[in-house]
């Protein structure tokens, strides 16, 4: 009977191991559960199945196992990301039973220090495979009752220069730091900073771009779900970093120390911009580009449950022209909201939707001219303010400037009230415009303000 029990025990162990080889990926609590279903790789003369490898830049951590750097355990990790990507690319290209879902993991079992990469130099040896880069904690390593391999995060990825990705890349549950200013270029690929990203909070040094800085990309897809960053751009950097198509930039549960731009940093965008924000922004949000960057398409900016220390603009900052701008703000705080831009860039038309729970100072249907320059903050067509609730000090039909003739809305302005909030007739004012200001209160609570025409 004892022999029978031993055999039964061995069969159960083998069954658990078999289940771990085919179990799908899942998430449980604070752990990331990694699938053991992997590509076909030859290891030590036998077939092993791995879609994940371990990396640690700390050679002393390996101890006597340093000669076994096969990347297949946290105790025999590769020393560089280059080795990890080479291994997984070879596995993918030579495997008979390659993983069809394209899911690969690079797990940091120790700190990695990426060497300096010059600003105009790209490194296709890394970030060239669709992969998730995450981190591993020794005392959490093992198999769960369901046969999953699980891990938590502790290791640090230190950046000493700019990096550029060459395939869809996900960072998750990872410490990322830099002692100097660095740029991370998504290069038109899907780049996702998922939950659990911890970055420097006192002096953020990392700026994110959906595009790149030396050539154009067809479109961008940048998603930021955790961490603290210096600035974030949906487009590229410099005049060479153009986006030929659309921009998608999603920011949630993250902090930005300076500004957010839906467009580029001097980089043009030929398509539309879709920008959504949920987080703490210590400066400004611009729907379009900065400096000389232009946006040919339209801007759609959605802000929810956010704290913005300064202003929100549908256009850019000192930028070229952009198309139609739509801003929707829900349950957020900000200084002012402008349908247009700040600077020489023109917006074709602007729509501002403000919903209950939002608190701002001014809502301005047009743009801003701080210097009073008559060419700043221009909106070529009509502008709209749709007020669905919130707290506001004043609504302006037109642009805002301290000097006559600047920040002009060249079309008409339509202000429509679907709720009252704290509004009174005296808080609804005429700004800078050459067309007609129309007013409609669907609640019937406020009389037509001075200078307006009933819509």
* Local confidence band at 3 (pLDDT 50, 70, 90 cut-offs): low
Tokens of 178: 């830099």
pLDDT score of 396 more than 90:
yes
| pLDDT value at residue 52 | 80
Tally helices (H) and strands (E) across the chain: 2, 40
pLDDT over 80 at 27, yes or no = no
Say which residue, 105 or 437, is predicted with more confidence: 437
Q: Cα separation of 326 and 339, whole Å? A: 7
Among 122-136, 285-299, 329-343, 429-443, which is the least confidently predicted range?
Answer: 122-136
Q: Residue 154: is its pLDDT beyond 80?
A: no
pLDDT top residue among 179 and 225: 225
What does the pLDDT read at residue 7? 56
- Cα 236 to Cα 238: distance, rounded to the nearest angstrom: 7
pLDDT of residue 54: 87
Q: What is the mean pLDDT of the chain?
A: 82
Beta bridge partners of 174: 197
- The rounded distance, in Å, linking the Cα atoms of 237 and 258 is 16
Residues 81-87: what's their mean pLDDT? Answer: 87
Which range, 45-54, 62-71, 392-401, has the best average confidence (pLDDT)? 392-401
Query: pLDDT tens for residues 157-212?
Result: 999 889 999 999 999 988 999 988 999 999 999 999 999 899 988 889 999 999 99
The C-alpha atoms of residue 335 and residue 341 are separated, in whole angstroms, by 15
Residues 6+ apart with CB under 8 A from 365: 339, 350, 352, 379, 383, 384, 385, 395, 396, 397, 398, 399, 409, 413, 415, 431
Q: Looking at the predicted structure, is the pLDDT value of residue 30 above 50?
A: no
Mean local confidence (pLDDT), 146-166:
69
**What is the per-residue pLDDT across 324-361, written as a single tens digit (0 to 9) for each?**
999 999 999 999 999 999 988 899 999 999 999 999 99
> What tokens does 34 get?
């990694």
- pLDDT band at residue 99 under the 50/70/90 scheme: very low
Write down the pLDDT at residue 25.
33
The least confident of 42-46, 305-309, 357-361 is: 42-46
Token pair recorded at residue 129? 């495979």
pLDDT of residue 68: 64
> How many C-beta atoms surround the C-beta of residue 41 within 10 A?
21
pLDDT score for 21 = 38
Which helix H or strand E contains 183, and what residues bound it? Answer: strand 182-185
Whether residue 301 has pLDDT greater than 50: yes
Neighbour count for residue 238 (Cβ, 10 Å): 18
Vertex 153: Cα angle to 209 and 305 (nearest 5):
50
**Backbone φ and ψ of 6, nearest 5°:** -65, -45
- pLDDT higher than threshold 80 for residue 408: yes
The per-residue pLDDT for 119 is: 42
Please report the pLDDT score of residue 89 as a whole number: 82
Q: Predicted confidence band at 50 (pLDDT cuts at 50, 70, 90)? A: low
**CB neighbourhood size of 60 (10 A):** 8
pLDDT digits 0-9 by tens, 166-180: 999 999 988 999 988
Confidence of residue 58 (pLDDT cuts 50, 70, 90): low
Beta strands (DSSP E) in 228-367 are 228-229, 231-233, 247-256, 260-261, 273-281, 285-286, 299-304, 307-308, 312-313, 322-330, 336-338, 347-354, 359-364
Between 99-103, 373-377, 424-428, the lowest mean confidence (pLDDT) is in: 99-103
What is the rounded CA–CA span in Å between residue 387 and residue 395?
Answer: 10
pLDDT band, very low/low/confident/very high, at 90 (cuts 50, 70, 90): confident
The token pair that represents 371 in the structure block: 């210097």
First to last CA, the chain: 92
Residue 26 CA to residue 61 CA, distance in Å, equals 29
- Residue 13 has a CB neighbour count (10 Å cut-off) of 10
Q: What pLDDT score does 15 carry?
A: 46
What is the predicted pLDDT for the residue at 104? 85
Checking if the pLDDT of 28 tops 70, the result is no
Distances (CA, A) of 210 to 53, 158, 235, 256, 414: 27, 21, 5, 15, 35
Nearest Cα to Cα of residue 315 among 329, 326, 330: 326
Paired strand residues for 290: 265, 317
pLDDT category at 2 given cuts 50, 70, 90 is: low
- 144 or 223: whose pLDDT is higher? 223
């Amino acid at each position: 009977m004892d022999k029978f029990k031993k055999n039964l025990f061995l069969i159960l162990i083998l069954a658990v191991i078999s289940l771990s080889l085919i179990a799908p990926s899942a998430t449980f609590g604070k752990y990331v559960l990694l699938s053991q279903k992997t590509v076909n790789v030859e290891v030590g003369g036998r077939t092993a199945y791995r879609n994940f490898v371990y990396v640690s830049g700390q050679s002393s951590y390996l101890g006597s196992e340093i000669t076994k750097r096969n990347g297949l355990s946290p105790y025999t990790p590769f020393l560089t990301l280059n080795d990890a990507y080479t291994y997984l690319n070879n596995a993918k290209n030579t495997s008979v039973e390659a993983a069809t879902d394209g899911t690969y993991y690079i797990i940091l079992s120790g700190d990695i220090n990426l060497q300096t990469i010059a600003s105009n130099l790209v490194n296709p040896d890394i970030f060239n495979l669709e992969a998730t880069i995450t981190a591993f904690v020794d005392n959490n390593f093992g198999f769960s009752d369901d046969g999953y391999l699980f891990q938590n995060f502790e290791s640090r990825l230190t950046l000493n220069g700019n990096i550029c990705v060459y395939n869809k890349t996900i960072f998750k549950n990872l410490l990322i730091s830099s002692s100097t200013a660095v740029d991370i270029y998504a290069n038109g690929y899907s780049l996702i900073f998922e939950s659990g990203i911890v970055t420097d909070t006192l002096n953020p040094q990392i700026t994110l771009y959906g595009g790149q800085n030396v050539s154009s990309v067809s479109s961008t897809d940048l998603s930021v779900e955790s961490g603290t960053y210096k600035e974030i751009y949906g487009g590229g950097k410099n005049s060479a970093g153009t986006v030929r198509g659309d921009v998608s930039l999603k920011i949630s549960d993250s902090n930005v120390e300076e500004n957010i731009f839906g467009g580029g940093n001097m980089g043009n965008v030929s398509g539309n911009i879709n920008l959504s924000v949920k987080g703490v922004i210590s400066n400004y949000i611009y729907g379009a580009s900065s400096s000389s960057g232009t946006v040919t398409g339209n801007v759609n900016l959605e802000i929810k449950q956010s704290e913005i220390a300064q202003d929100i603009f549908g256009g850019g900052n000192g930028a070229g022209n952009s198309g139609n701008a739509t801003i929707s703000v829900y349950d957020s705080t900000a200084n002012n909201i402008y349908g247009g831009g700040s600077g020489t860039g023109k917006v074709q038309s602007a729509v501002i939707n403000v919903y209950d729970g939002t608190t701002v100072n001014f809502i301005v249907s047009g743009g801003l001219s701080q210097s009073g320059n008559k060419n700043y903050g221009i909106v070529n067509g009509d502008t709209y303010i749709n007020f669905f609730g919130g707290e506001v000090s004043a609504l302006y039909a037109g642009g805002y400037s301290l000097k006559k003739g600047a920040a002009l809305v060249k079309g008409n302005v339509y202000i429509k009230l679907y709720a009252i909030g704290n509004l009174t007739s005296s808080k609804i004012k005429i700004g800078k415009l050459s067309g007609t200001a129309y007013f409609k209160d669907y609640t019937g609570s406020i009389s037509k303000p001075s200078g307006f025409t009933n819509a």
